[in-house]
Amino acid sequence: MRDLILRTAPAEVKEIALAVLDGRRLSPEEALTLYSSADLSLMALLASSVKRMKSGDAVFFNRNFHIEPTNICLYNCRFCSYHKPEGDPESWELTENEILDIVKRFDGVPVTEVHITGGVHPSRDIHYYGRMLAAIRKARPDISIKAFSAVELAYMIRREGMTWTDGIRLLQEYGLDSIPGGGAEIFDPVLRRRICPEKADAETYLAIHEAAHNLGLTSNATMLYGHAESPMHRIDHMLRLRDLQDRTGGFNAFIPLKFRSENNRMSELGEVPVTEDMRNYALSRIFLDNFNHLKAYWPAIGKNAALMSLAFGADDLDGTIDDTTRIYSMAGSDESNPSLSTTELVAMIRSAGFRPVERDTNYRPVKEW
């Protein structure tokens, strides 16, 4: 591969590409040069090389389902197709019994994780959500509970007048095991004021994840891309995550989330092409050198693009989900009823030339197929 790079790569990227192969950390400036000047095939080669150093030929997935307690949200982010105000005919608010009915659907099914996230309901406090965790834990003590984005946590913990650490510790006592990555959007403050001005800022997002990591919880990290941001905005976002990962090591995976343009106030921006999705996956894998896993969240980008991403550094396809999330289908995703069987996920991974590994929340192998 080195000889190929020396023969064919543009002069401005040769040294950077060789540094990637040597495992050297890239600066933001080098990352921008690589993103701007390397062709897509070179990005794929470099990202695949990094992926194989991290996880060999394995591609991971888990058996999971989602619970979305409500889409009623006190925030009104411009990119969001999910939010509805109270009283809207498209709004919902599940009762505890309805939430437990979702859990009971999976009785006897070997799921390992439930993922809980939704709108920031203006009248729900930390104890309400804690009781939800405790009820789910009682019903299914064998599964891991990954719940509440940093934005949800910020509201419920501030409402209670607690520190981040004390609030997360309380939720741990109720049954919280880990935290999803949602709510990061894009960290640049100018852009954030434009697309989600009411939402918890970047510093709050990072502080909450750091507090969770210091309490022994793992989490994921995300980035919303493909709207009004520039490549440097993405790199700055990833740099802040990389810096926090250096301090705590608590992130399991990075998840690029594609902006989908239907039914929101940023629809005029359209959507980036799949080639841009792949370049972004590759850059993420290369730049985030201290993240072990890069997830292609197939309900957001579609099964075909998720499969393609495995050639651009992704090593995780999330999970079976079983038609339990509406966040991306309401924004125009190709996956209007998101569900994959274990057999389908295994076949997808094998068709791309990789080894399927069923995992738990923290990437411990459950079964190799």
Whether residue 129 lies inside any domain: the answer is: yes
* Local structure of 320: helix, strand or coil: strand
Position 358 scores a pLDDT of 95
Average pLDDT of the residues in 124-133:
97
CATH of the domain at 250: 3.20.20.70
Whether residue 110 lies inside any domain: the answer is: yes
Token reading at 238: 């990833």
Pick the range with the lowest mean pLDDT from 23-27, 86-90, 244-248, 275-279. 86-90
For residue 324, pLDDT over 50 is answered with no
Q: What is the pLDDT of the chain when averaged over all its residues? A: 92
Contact predicate 199/185, CB 8 Å: yes
Whether residue 271 lies inside any domain: the answer is: yes
For residue 326, pLDDT over 70 is answered with no
Token reading at 302: 């579609």
- pLDDT tens digits for 243-273? 999 999 999 999 999 998 777 888 888 999 9
Number of domains in the chain: 1
**Residue 28, H or E segment:** helix 28-37
Whether residue 183 lies inside any domain: the answer is: yes
| Res. 322 pLDDT band, cuts 50 70 90 | low
- pLDDT tens digits for 66-118? 999 999 998 888 888 776 777 888 888 999 999 999 999 999 988 999 999 99
- pLDDT tens digits for 212-241? 999 999 999 999 999 999 999 999 999 999
From the list 21, 48, 43, the residue with the least C-alpha distance to 33 is 43
47 phi-psi bin (left φ>0, alpha ψ -120 to 50, beta other): alpha
For residue 298, pLDDT over 70 is answered with yes
Whether residue 134 lies inside any domain: the answer is: yes
Domain that holds residue 348: 57-368
Whether residue 14 lies inside any domain: the answer is: no
| Res. 341 pLDDT band, cuts 50 70 90 | confident
For residue 169, pLDDT over 60 is answered with yes
| Res. 329 pLDDT band, cuts 50 70 90 | very low
Whether residue 347 lies inside any domain: the answer is: yes
pTM exceeds 0.85: yes
What gap in Å lies between CA 50 and CA 288, rounded to an integer? Answer: 10
Contact predicate 66/115, CB 8 Å: yes
Whether residue 89 lies inside any domain: the answer is: yes
